[in-house]
Amino acid sequence: MFIAHLPAGYLLTRRIVGTRQGLRRAAFATGLTFSVLPDFDLLYFYLIDGRRTLHHDYWTHTPLFWLAVAATLALALRLAGKRQYLILVWVALANVLLHLFLDSIAADIRWFHPVLETRFNLVEIPARFQPWYLNFILHWTFAAEVAICAAAAWIWARARLAARPVEASASE
């Protein structure tokens, strides 16, 4: 997936946060960050690894790793008596798992690594064009990405418009 991680993260975070007011900004910041965080491994891929290993094979694209991190954080927050922050752990985990699910549409993701090395992807994209990214952009799955972006832009714009009268009356 190329362009839809962030807008998909926005839609998911909106869904989780709902009308909740407490930690709303923090939840959106967390959700948007974690919706794209796994792909920061591209820095390692290009700058350090020399493109030797597919970045989808790094631990950053391993669901069980993120589940373990989330479980550890949730336990730590509970033991520290800071249960109110558990929502942020949930938002982060949900967004990372959404990222991996969206990657798994057209790319191989090892959902059960290190227990099972089977790779899961819904659609095989044939290599027909050069450069390589044209194969993805000219595939129908890219239309789904555009649709996710359009839906997020529409809902974001509607929310902004709905918030306008409240902002205007608050400033008077």
- Nearest distance from residue 169's CB to Zn ion, in Å? 42
- Nearest distance from residue 46's CB to Zn ion, in Å? 14
**Secondary structure class of 160 (helix, strand, coil):** helix
Given the complex with Zn ion, which of 5 and 13 has the nearer CB atom? 5
Given the complex with Zn ion, which of 49 and 85 has the nearer CB atom? 49
**Structure token digits, residue 64:** 């069980």
Given the complex with Zn ion, which of 6 and 26 has the nearer CB atom? 6
- Nearest distance from residue 39's CB to Zn ion, in Å? 4
Q: Are 104 and 38 in contact (CB under 8 A)?
A: no
Given the complex with Zn ion, which of 17 and 31 has the nearer CB atom? 31
- The contact set with Zn ion (CB under 5 A) reads 38-39, 103
Given the complex with Zn ion, which of 27 and 100 has the nearer CB atom? 100
- Nearest distance from residue 57's CB to Zn ion, in Å? 11
CB burial of 105-119 (b: ≥16 within 10 Å; e: otherwise) equals bbbbbbbebeeeeee
- Nearest distance from residue 42's CB to Zn ion, in Å? 8
| DSSP states along 134-149 | HHHHTSHHHHHHHHHH
In 3D space, the residue among 95, 107, 98, 93 whose CA is nearest the CA of residue 141 turns out to be 107
Task: Spell out the residues 6+ positions from residue 87 whose beta carbon is closer than 8 angstroms to its own.
Answer: 16, 20, 23, 27
